[in-house]
């Protein structure tokens, strides 16, 4: 991706869109830089880079064969564009395997790829075609608007060109026979985004299991509170405070799931209609209605900005803070390959390699059952008898006094609202907005709590940079 932003700004965008890593080539002066994002589902090893390209090796989990990717930016100055084609040919000499190259090449390959008053010199188009053929690449085509860039100027100067594209060699095409290059609507730039989706077979993608998760952005919707109030108005059978709270939480979850589907559908419909209209206008091979396009772009941007709170909730707050103050750290992280969060294989306590999901799970369960099991030690009471008493009688009186509503409210308000949720899907932020003190007071007075209240997710944290055996991880409760 071509960008005017510096590395620390790019890092904040990476967090917002939920990608695992990013590599940035900063621009110099008024010249633009480059950025390459990737998710935790792939491993990317940066091979080389310049102000005009980023060259990398991409490896997917569970796939032994990697392939080459080049993010390319053709020189914006016509007189220096041959330097870009020389670079492209030079890169092709190192690509002995599957190779995909995408980017803004700043050139068209034929008259059909331009709409405007001035015609493109044939020599320039020939040079570009020769560079593509000399690099053993072919254009992967596209679906959507024909042109990917416009100067958005008035009548008499309006120009559109197809400058952005995806190129690949035959090895990459054979590796991914199911592929689609799509030109999307240009909402916030003079360039339209180009998206490529690909996989090796038609049934490769699997649906992920749905897990409910409360979105903190919901409280901005006027109808959200009504959903919660409707659930809370329903009277419960007199089966205790804990049962009432748990039952209402379950009903809240089901009601919010249905509410989310309805609201998401409406928001998605509006965004889809807006982008569809944008694509229609930007796909016209004549001068555009610039006022209408700008209005639609503004509307689309407003809808997309609503996603910001969702991505902030998924990002760690500390990382957002440090991203503003310590860009060197993030830039250093982005230049190295990160391990994916998924544990594809592990060596168990007996030294046996486990590489199936079931065997990996069993290896960790067996190991931590052994580590956390008691050895039934004796003499515990005798050992505790010699421990000096630190709690005074007055301290006991203070600890045993009744907990007030104000204390519970204050403690709740001081908790971080967006930390990881438990199995119920509700973070602290939900209880800060919609909290009930009855069950909490009952717990402090009786010491009784429903076991499901303490249910939690267990995460495995690596003890070192390259863990490969079960003892290299430690469990933590989220």
* Phi, psi for residue 458 in degrees, rounded to 5: -105, 125
Angle at 345 between CA 341 and CA 351, to 5 degrees: 135
With a cut of 80, say whether residue 354 has pLDDT above it: yes
Q: What is the pLDDT of residue 16?
A: 76
Query: Of 259-263, 324-328, 411-415, which one has max mean pLDDT?
Result: 411-415
Highest mean pLDDT among 96-110, 181-195, 286-300: 96-110
- Render pLDDT for 202-256 as a digit per residue (tens, 0 to 9): 544 445 566 787 877 777 677 888 888 888 777 766 666 666 777 888 888 888 8
Distance CA 103, CA 96 (A): 21
Domain boundaries, given as residue ranges, for the chain: 2-207+277-334, 223-266
Instruction: Choose among 68, 113, 116: nearest CA to 88.
Output: 68
Q: What are the backbone angles phi and psi of residue 88, rounded to the nearest 5°?
A: -60, -45
Which class would CATH give 2-207+277-334? alpha beta
Q: What is the pLDDT of residue 375?
A: 74
What single string gives the DSSP state of each residue in 132-153? HHHTT-EE---BS-S-SEE---
pLDDT of residue 212: 80
- pLDDT at 144 exceeding the cut of 90: no
Q: Using one digit for the tens of pLDDT, what is the confidence trace for 72-98?
A: 999 999 999 999 999 999 999 877 789
For the ranges 22-36, 136-150, 299-313, 333-347, which has the lowest average pLDDT?
333-347
pLDDT > 50? residue 324? no
Report the candidate in 49, 44, 89, 84 with the shortest Cα–Cα distance to residue 68. 44
Taking the C-alpha atoms of residue 221 and residue 435, their distance in angstroms, rounded to an integer, is 18
Phi, psi of 390 (to 5 degrees): -115, -20
Q: Measure Cα distances from 348 to 61, 72, 287, 352, 363 in Å.
A: 20, 44, 66, 6, 5
Report whether 134 contacts 92 (CB < 8 A).
yes
Give the mean model confidence (pLDDT) for residues 291-315.
71
Q: 199 falls in which pLDDT band (50, 70, 90)? A: confident
Spatial contact of 32 and 24, defined as CB atoms under 8 Å apart = no
Query: Residue range 163-171: average pLDDT?
Result: 94
User: Looking at residues 168-184, what average pLDDT do you find?
Assistant: 89
pTM over 0.75: no
pLDDT band, very low/low/confident/very high, at 327 (cuts 50, 70, 90): very low
Range 174-196 average pLDDT = 87
pLDDT band at 362, cuts 50/70/90?
A: very high
User: How much of the chain, in percent, has pLDDT values that exceed 70?
Assistant: 79
Give the model's confidence band at 446: pLDDT under 50 very low, under 70 low, under 90 confident, else very high: low
Of 360, 394, 382, 389, nearest to 468 by C-alpha is 360
> In the predicted model, what is the mean pLDDT of the chain?
79
Q: In what order do the strands lie in the sheet with 149-150?
A: 114-115, 160-161, 149-150
Most confident of 174-178, 262-266, 300-304, 316-320: 174-178
pLDDT confidence tier of residue 189, bands split at 50, 70 and 90: confident
More confident: 117 or 273: 273
Cβ(444)–Cβ(400) below 8 Å:
no
Give 248's contacts (C-beta < 8 A, 6+ positions apart).
Answer: 231, 232, 234, 236
Confidence at residue 203, expressed as pLDDT on a 0 to 100 scale: 47
- 68, 71, 77, 80 alpha-carbon torsion, rounded to 10°: -20
């Amino acid at each position: 991706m071509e960008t005017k932003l510096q590395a620390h700004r790019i890092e904040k965008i990476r967090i917002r869109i939920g990608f695992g890593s990013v590599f940035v080539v900063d621009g110099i002066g008024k010249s633009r830089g480059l950025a390459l994002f990737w998710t935790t589902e792939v491993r990317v090893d940066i091979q080389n880079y310049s102000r005009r390209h980023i060259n990398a090796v991409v490896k997917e989990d569970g796939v032994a064969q990697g392939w080459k990717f080049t993010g390319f930016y053709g020189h914006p100055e016509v007189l220096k564009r041959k330097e870009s084609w020389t670079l492209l040919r030079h890169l092709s000499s190192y690509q002995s395997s599957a190779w995909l190259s995408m980017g803004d090449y700043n050139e068209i390959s034929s008259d059909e790829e331009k709409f405007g008053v001035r015609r493109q010199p044939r020599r320039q188009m020939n040079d570009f075609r020769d560079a593509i053929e000399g690099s053993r690449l072919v254009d992967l085509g596209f679906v959507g608007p024909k042109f990917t860039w416009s100067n958005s100027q008035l009548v008499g100067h309006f120009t559109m060109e197809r400058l952005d594209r995806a190129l690949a060699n035959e090895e990459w095409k054979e590796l991914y026979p199911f592929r689609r290059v799509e030109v999307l609507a240009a909402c916030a730039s003079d360039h339209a985004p180009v998206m490529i989706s690909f996989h090796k077979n038609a049934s490769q993608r699997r649906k992920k299991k749905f897990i409910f998760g409360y979105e903190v952005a919901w409280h901005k919707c006027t109808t959200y509170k009504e959903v919660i109030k409707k659930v809370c108005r329903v009277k419960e059978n007199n089966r205790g405070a804990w049962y009432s709270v748990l039952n209402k939480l379950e009903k809240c979850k089901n009601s919010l799931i249905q509410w989310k589907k309805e609201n998401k559908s409406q928001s998605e419909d509006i965004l889809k209609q807006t982008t569809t209209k944008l694509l229609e206008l930007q796909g016209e091979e004549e001068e555009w209605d610039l006022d209408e396009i700008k209005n639609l772009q503004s509307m689309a941007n407003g809808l997309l900005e609503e996603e910001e709170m969702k991505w902030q909730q998924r990002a760690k707050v500390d990382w957002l803070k440090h991203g503003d103050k310590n860009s060197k750290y993030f830039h250093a992280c982005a230049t190295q390959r990160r391990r994916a969060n998924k544990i594809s294989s592990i060596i168990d306590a007996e030294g046996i390699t486990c590489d199936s999901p079931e065997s990996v799970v069993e290896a960790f369960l067996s190991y931590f059952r052994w580590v956390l099991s008691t050895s039934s030690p004796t003499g515990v009471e005798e050992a505790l008898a010699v421990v000096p008493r630190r709690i005074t009688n007055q301290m006991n009186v203070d600890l045993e006094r009744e907990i007030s509503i104000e204390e519970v409210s204050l403690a709740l308000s001081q908790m971080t609202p967006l930390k990881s949720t438990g199995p119920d899907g509700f973070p602290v932020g939900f209880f800060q907005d919609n909290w009930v003190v009855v069950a909490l007071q009952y717990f402090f007075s009786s010491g009784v709590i429903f076991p499901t209240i303490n249910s939690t997710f267990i995460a495995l944290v690596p003890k070192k940079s390259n863990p490969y055996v079960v003892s290299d991880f430690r469990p933590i409760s989220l």
